[in-house]
Amino acid sequence: MSIKPIQYHDGICRMIDQRLLPTEEVWLEYTDYQGVAEAIQTMVVRGAPAIGVAAAFGAAFGARDIAADDFAGFAAQLEKVCSVLAATRPTAVNLFWALERMQRIAKEHCQQPLAEIKERLLQEALNIAAEDEQINRTMGANGAPLIADGSRILTHCNAGALATGGYGTALGVIRAAVESGKKVMVYADETRPFLQGSRLTAWELHRDGIPVTLICDNMAGALMNQGKIDCVIVGADRIAANGDVANKIGTYTVAVLAKEHNLPFYVAAPISTIDPALADGSMIPIEERDEAEVTHCAKTRLAPEGIGVRNPAFDVTPARLVSAIITERGVARGDYRTSLAELLAKQD
Ligand SMILES: CSC[C@H]1O[C@H](OP(=O)(O)O)[C@H](O)[C@@H]1O
């Protein structure tokens, strides 16, 4: 059973501290929105869908603590709670999707007593968490046919159960392929600088008994050139209307290499990761994180002091490099403006 990184029980949201994996499995407890916001910003919890799930619980905790005489006052304070959570990380659209859904639910129940609205919001956060895992299982079933038996699959960063409400997106497709009886092996890019691949993907796949081999990011091209990789599958943090994909920094590099070696490059993401309001990837905000993530590894300094450092946490892969976008509503190919719009228009 793949891990659920966010678990709620009796007023407490427990999240595994992904900064400490793979060496320590430490679960932190959260009961207020400020704590959840810090957990998202410091990457205790990370991964686009998981960030949305965590933010939903943060909004529910914030709503629970609002003292207001009427709905207008409640809604104004809920807006402030959601703005704090929205300010944590800019790229993953699932964060904003989840917060908008929580505020929409509040408005839909504005005639009810505030106590009932607060209960309803907690239930909505639980719904978002449960739905996400089911969405990933459906997405996995949609994507598994694309994975041939015996495939050697390269993945970048962690788009697994740890990045979601459970089961994973890119790793969910891999899990579904394995569960359908296919034998696969996975090359996991270490994914500098935060090392989601070596610390999280390798841990998660090894824990679940799926063969995984860790490689440095600079090895992917050579392995492709030696004919040792059959396809690539990654997650996404935001997909523009034209199919441009924002994902962990280094994804674009892998996509260019895959194109050079005529390898399929798949993206697996829930519909909530598509942002139809953005015409193309140039409009996707790219988070720049603290330079210490680049200059240090744990407490060990890796570079001299006083030098310039960049740490863009994401990059954008143009749609022309993307072979297919796998979602819970089906697989989009070709002209993504049309094929993504068709998936968005479909009902679940
Ligand atoms: C299932 S989407 C996961 C997505 O999020 C990761 O970014 P981060 O670890 O910084 O939250 C990475 O882009 C993954 O592909």
Angle at which helices 71-86 and 93-108 cross, to 10° = 170
Whether residues 111 and 26 share a domain: the answer is yes
Residue 279 sits in a domain of what CATH number?
3.40.50.10470
Residue-wise pLDDT for 14-37, tens only, equals 999 999 999 999 999 999 999 999
Whether residues 86 and 180 share a domain: the answer is no
Is 48 flagged in the annotation as binding? yes
Average pLDDT score, the chain? 96
Angle at 20 between CA 19 and CA 21, to 5 degrees: 100
Q: In this predicted structure, what is the pLDDT of residue 298? A: 80
ipTM > 0.95 for the complex: yes
Residue-wise pLDDT for 231-289, tens only, equals 999 999 999 999 999 999 999 999 999 999 999 999 999 999 999 999 999 999 999 99
Whether residues 161 and 109 share a domain: the answer is no
Indicate which residue's Cα is closest to atom 8 of ligand 1: 47
**Rounded Cα–Cα distance for residues 270 and 253 (Å):** 23
Q: In this predicted structure, what is the pLDDT of residue 197? A: 96
Cβ of residue 270 lying under 6 Å from some atom of ligand 1? no
Whether residues 312 and 169 share a domain: the answer is yes
Determine, yes or no, domain membership for 1. no
Whether residues 112 and 201 share a domain: the answer is no
Residue-wise pLDDT for 298-341, tens only, equals 888 888 888 888 888 999 999 999 999 999 999 999 999 999 99
Cβ of residue 325 lying under 6 Å from some atom of ligand 1? no
**266, 233 Cβ separation under 8 angstroms:** yes
Determine, yes or no, domain membership for 100. yes
Is 47 flagged in the annotation as binding? yes
In the chain, the number of structural domains is: 2
Whether residues 182 and 234 share a domain: the answer is yes
Whether residues 104 and 248 share a domain: the answer is no
* Confidence label for 216 from pLDDT (cuts 50, 70 and 90): very high
Q: In this predicted structure, what is the pLDDT of residue 300? A: 84
Determine, yes or no, domain membership for 116. yes
Chain center to CA of 21? 17
**68, 81 Cβ separation under 8 angstroms:** no
Q: In this predicted structure, what is the pLDDT of residue 306? A: 82
Q: In this predicted structure, what is the pLDDT of residue 281? A: 98
Residue 105 sits in a domain of what CATH number?
1.20.120.420
**Rounded Cα–Cα distance for residues 171 and 226 (Å):** 24
Window from 127-136, 211-220, 260-269, 291-300 with minimum mean pLDDT: 291-300
Q: In this predicted structure, what is the pLDDT of residue 74? A: 98
* Confidence label for 219 from pLDDT (cuts 50, 70 and 90): very high
E-strand spans in 10-100? 12-16, 27-30
E-strand spans in 85-211? 152-155, 185-189
132 is catalytic: no
Cβ of residue 49 lying under 6 Å from some atom of ligand 1? yes
Whether residues 164 and 250 share a domain: the answer is yes
Residue-wise pLDDT for 48-62, tens only, equals 999 999 999 999 999
> Closest Cα to residue 191, out of 46, 24, 5, 325?
46
Using CB atoms within 10 Å of the CB of residue 209, give its burial: 0 to 12 exposed, 13 to 18 middle, 19+ buried: exposed
Question: Average of pLDDT values for 84-101?
Answer: 98
Domain final position from 137, 167, 183:
137
Range of the structural domain that residue 177 is part of = 142-345
C-alpha distances (whole Å) from 68 to each of 77, 78, 118, 120 are 8, 10, 12, 17
Scan for tokens 């009902």, then name that residue.
347
Whether residues 96 and 151 share a domain: the answer is no
Q: 29 pairs with which residues across the strands?
A: 14
Q: In this predicted structure, what is the pLDDT of residue 126? A: 98
Whether residues 288 and 160 share a domain: the answer is yes
First to last CA, the chain: 25
